């Protein structure tokens, strides 16, 4: 079978499975690897130490699977057309009923099965942002989009509300043309809208100032006071730079049921978070991306959000949090109460 035929069959099956775009790139050292080295050298990866530990592995897909020759990139839209603008907010990608890692892995397994059926001796590996692979770089190399000034991969047809998954294979498939051009022009809406000024320059994100990083990955420490008010209503993650992107007016308004927005919080529901025990937290958010922040991180965020929303009814819950076993939560609760008193 010709490689162009199997490549087209992969794309056809991908569309049947619900992927918005499928592209194929060669296994090479992406240009983004050198930007990654510079980013880490500046300390802009904050305390995400797993990047430092696996830095060399990002150089080439061989760092994930030896003998990789092709990288199949799949984009799954998670935009459902609904817009939440009031009350506590969580990032759109995390508001569905399932963890995107689980959903994409099952679908990508079906794509990989097509390869194994045609090439029984071949090897493949599925990657969904848990291995040292620069997915956005390979998405660009596969022709899916370009790097926006907010560092997101942006597609002319579907915007940036999409997950990326990859299949590494030792088969040399037919490659798509990389998208060399960018289409942001002189627009700086994403840079201007960021309340914490997390973009020191176009295309560079300083994680130390990023609301998504602070509310999710920075879960074992308190959020610096200089950023707390700027968090606004963001309980988990942040969508500001995507909300304002003009290209997202082209985002489809349909997605798989698992990614439709279901998990939204009223202020009263946000208050209830402050009373969760560790066991209750794990039970409530089992299978949800919110589990990533941990109980300490999510309750810390909730206390800050309630203070930012001037929710004086949260005082009893905040006072209970003053007695919590976690010093981070005690300190954040004290700060939140002080803000409500201002």
pLDDT tens digits in sequence order for the chain, 342 residues long: 577 899 999 999 999 999 999 999 999 999 999 999 999 999 999 999 999 999 999 999 999 999 999 999 999 999 998 777 779 999 999 998 889 999 999 999 999 999 999 999 999 999 999 899 999 999 999 999 999 999 999 999 999 999 999 999 999 999 999 999 999 999 999 999 999 999 999 999 999 999 999 999 999 999 999 999 999 999 999 999 999 999 999 899 989 899 998 888 899 999 999 999 999 999 999 988 999 999 999 999 999 999 999 999 999 999 999 999 999 999 999 999 999 998
Asked if 212 and 173 touch (Cβ cutoff 8 Å), the reply is no
Number of domains in the chain: 2
Residue 180 lies in a domain: no
Counting beta carbons within 10 angstroms of the beta carbon of residue 337, is it exposed (0 to 12), middle (13 to 18) or buried (19 or more)? Answer: middle
| Host domain of residue 311 | 189-341
Q: Could you give the angle at the alpha carbon of 219 between the alpha carbons of 318 and 56, nearest 5°?
A: 175
Residue 32 lies in a domain: yes
Residue 129 annotated as catalytic = yes
Asked if 242 and 155 touch (Cβ cutoff 8 Å), the reply is no
Please give the helix or strand (H or E) that residue 146 lies within, else none.
Answer: strand 146-147
Residue 275 lies in a domain: yes
Residue where a domain terminates, one of 103, 134, 169: 169
Q: How far is CA 81 from CA 182, 251, 253, in A?
A: 25, 8, 4
Domain shared by 154 and 197, yes or no: no
The secondary structure of residue 57, as a DSSP letter, is G
Domain shared by 24 and 71, yes or no: yes
Active-site residue (options: 47, 62, 129, 324):
129
Asked if 270 and 235 touch (Cβ cutoff 8 Å), the reply is yes
Which phi and psi angles does 267 have, rounded to 5°? -65, -35
Tokens of 199: 């973009």
Residue where a domain terminates, one of 169, 198, 218: 169
Domain shared by 123 and 197, yes or no: no
How far, in Å, CA of 228 to CA of 170, rounded?
47
Domain shared by 332 and 198, yes or no: yes
pTM to 2 decimal places = 0.95
Domain shared by 245 and 286, yes or no: yes
Q: Which string of DSSP letters, residue by residue, matches 167-232? A: EEESS--PPPPP------TT--HHHHH-TT---SBTTB--GGG-HHIIIII-TTSPPPHHHHGGGT
Q: How far is CA 141 from CA 101, 125, 132, 181, in A?
A: 22, 19, 17, 12
Beta-carbon contacts of 207 under 8 Å, excluding residues fewer than 6 positions away, are 44, 45, 46, 48, 198, 213, 217
How far, in Å, CA of 193 to CA of 202, rounded?
13
Domain shared by 105 and 215, yes or no: no
């Amino acid at each position: 079978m010709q490689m162009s035929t199997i490549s087209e069959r992969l794309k056809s099956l991908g569309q049947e499975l619900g992927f918005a775009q499928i592209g194929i790139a060669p296994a090479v050292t992406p240009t983004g690897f050198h930007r990654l080295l510079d980013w880490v050298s500046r300390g802009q990866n904050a305390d995400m130490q797993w990047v430092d530990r696996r830095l060399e592995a990002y150089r080439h897909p061989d760092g994930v699977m030896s003998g990789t020759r092709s990288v199949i990139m799949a984009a799954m839209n998670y935009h459902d057309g609904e817009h939440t603008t009031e009350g506590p907010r969580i990032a759109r990608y995390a508001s569905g009923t399932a963890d995107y890692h689980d959903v994409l892995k099952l679908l990508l397994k079906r794509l990989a099965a097509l390869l194994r059926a045609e090439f029984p001796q071949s090897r493949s590996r599925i990657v969904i942002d848990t291995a040292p692979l620069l997915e956005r770089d390979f998405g660009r190399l596969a022709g899916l989009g370009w790097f926006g000034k907010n560092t997101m991969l942006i597609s002319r047809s579907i915007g940036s509300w999409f997950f990326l998954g990859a299949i590494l294979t030792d088969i040399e498939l037919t490659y798509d043309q990389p998208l060399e051009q960018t289409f942001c022009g002189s627009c700086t809406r994403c840079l201007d809208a960021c309340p914490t000024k997390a973009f020191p320059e176009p295309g560079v994100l300083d994680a130390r100032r990023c609301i998504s990083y602070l509310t999710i990955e920075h879960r074992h420490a308190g959020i610096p006071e200089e950023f707390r008010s700027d968090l606004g209503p963001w309980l988990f993650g942040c969508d500001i730079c995507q909300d304002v992107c003009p290209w997202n007016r082209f985002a489809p308004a349909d997605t798989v049921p698992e990614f439709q927005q279901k998990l939204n919080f009223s202020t009263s529901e946000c208050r209830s978070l402050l009373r969760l025990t560790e066991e209750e937290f794990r039970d409530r958010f089992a299978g949800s991306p919110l589990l990533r922040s941990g109980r300490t991180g999510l309750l810390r965020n909730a206390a800050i959000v309630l203070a930012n929303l001037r929710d004086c009814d949260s005082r009893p819950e905040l006072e209970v949090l003053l007695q919590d076993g976690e010093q981070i939560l005690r300190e954040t609760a004290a700060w939140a109460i002080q803000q409500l008193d201002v």
